[in-house]
Amino acid sequence: MKHLNCKNCGAPMLLDASGMTAVCHYCGTKYVLNHEDTDYFRGFYRRMTEFLSGGADEQARRLKADALWQDADEQAFDCTDGSRIEIKYMYSYTLPGVEVYVARRNIIFHFLTDGAAGSERFRRAVSLLDYPSADTRSLQSFFPTISGGFELCDGTCVLVVSKDMDEYPLCLFGNLPGRHVAWIISRMENLCCVLEYNALVHPAINVNSLYINPYTHQASLYGGWWEADRRNTATRGGVLKTEQNLTALRDTAANLLGYAKAGEVRVTDDVPKALADFINSKPRGNAYDDFAYWDEMLIKAYGERKFISMNADDEQIYGNAR
Ligand SMILES: [Zn+2]
């Protein structure tokens, strides 16, 4: 795909709700897209959101995904051990000090500065994750599994994280309707509860670090781990506070609705008052209370859940509603 990266700092840009202006959340650069680009990105996001509406059978899905990968770019890395890693990637972007490549079954993080330090920070933060014993297997799959690390000939370092074929960075879906944002908030609350359980703060929860599976409506937090650490740890970005997880969750939801940040979300035909109020609200004291508060607001926004079997997940409840 075409890359919508900031011309000033290289970071991924977000389209606003009109689809005409792109904004960089890292340096604040804004620019107006030309017609051709506007049409391209609107078309691309529309194709991605079609994935979310469900209905397609396995084979139809596979064909759609294959079409997406037809114009994949290629990149090679030369390792100090003499090997050469060649990847095909659909999407890439640069964050301060890190290039990210999204391949079909992997995400490749290329740490450009301070040798292996960024990669080590990533590994360490992920190693601090522990799961409530009853739930180990299912929760673990929503956090990074590191499948390799390589030192490169130019002194930089690459870290490879596995992902499912059907998982895509959230940013590729552009702006989403309220109901989709609602299930994504539910999944982010799940992720924040795991962070809370581990006393971890991940200040970079956003549309680039979150990956969603549009078919199963699951969300995973794969990126940005070099910024994560235990709460109250002093980092380059300041002392980490639990509240940052829940603030980032709200900003992400606001971004998906086309706003720059939480606090700005307005009620529309598509965004019920309880949804806007939740996103604009101050986080509760911890993720568990915040999740309970969200559940309450979710019911206010979209009504009492119907009598669906206890095991029914949000996909069945919200999946076909647009
Ligand atoms: Zn920028």
pLDDT tens by residue, 40-69: 888 888 888 888 876 667 787 788 788 888
Q: What global pTM score does this model have?
A: 0.89
Q: Compute the distance from residue 175 Cα to the ligand 1 centre, in Å.
A: 20
With cut-offs at 50, 70 and 90, classify the pLDDT of residue 317.
very low
Q: Compute the distance from residue 77 Cα to the ligand 1 centre, in Å.
A: 25
Q: In the block, which residue shows the tokens 């795909």?
A: 1
In the chain, CATH 1.10.510.10 sits at 167-318
Q: Compute the distance from residue 21 Cα to the ligand 1 centre, in Å.
A: 14
For residue 16, with 0-12 CB atoms within 10 Å meaning exposed, 13-18 middle and 19 or more buried, which class applies? Answer: middle
Per residue in 150-160, pLDDT tens? 999 999 999 99
Q: What is the pLDDT at residue 310?
A: 41
Which has the higher per-residue pLDDT, 148 or 42?
Answer: 148
Within a 10 A sphere around the Cβ of 293, how many other Cβ atoms?
16
Q: Do residues 266 and 284 lie in contact, with contact meaning Cβ atoms separated by under 8 Å? A: no
The domain defined by 167-318 carries CATH number 3.40.50.300:
no
Supply the DSSP string of 260-302, one letter for each residue. Answer: SSTT-----SSS-HHHHHHHHSPPPSSHHHHHHHHHHHHHHHH
Q: Compute the distance from residue 95 Cα to the ligand 1 centre, in Å.
A: 9
Backbone dihedral angles phi then psi of residue 148, each to the nearest 5 degrees:
180, 155
d(CA 13, CA 24): 5
In the chain, CATH 3.30.200 sits at 71-162
Q: Compute the distance from residue 17 Cα to the ligand 1 centre, in Å.
A: 19
d(CA 177, CA 270): 7
Backbone dihedral angles phi then psi of residue 128, each to the nearest 5 degrees:
-80, -10
Is 158 in a helix, a strand, or coil? Answer: strand
d(CA 79, CA 92): 20
Q: Compute the distance from residue 125 Cα to the ligand 1 centre, in Å.
A: 26
Token pair, residue 169, equals 């960075």
Residues with CB under 5 A from ligand 1 (ion): 6, 8-9, 11, 24, 26-27, 29
The fold of 71-162 is Phosphorylase Kinase; domain 1 (3.30.200)
Q: What is the pLDDT at residue 54?
A: 65
Q: What is the pLDDT at residue 136?
A: 61
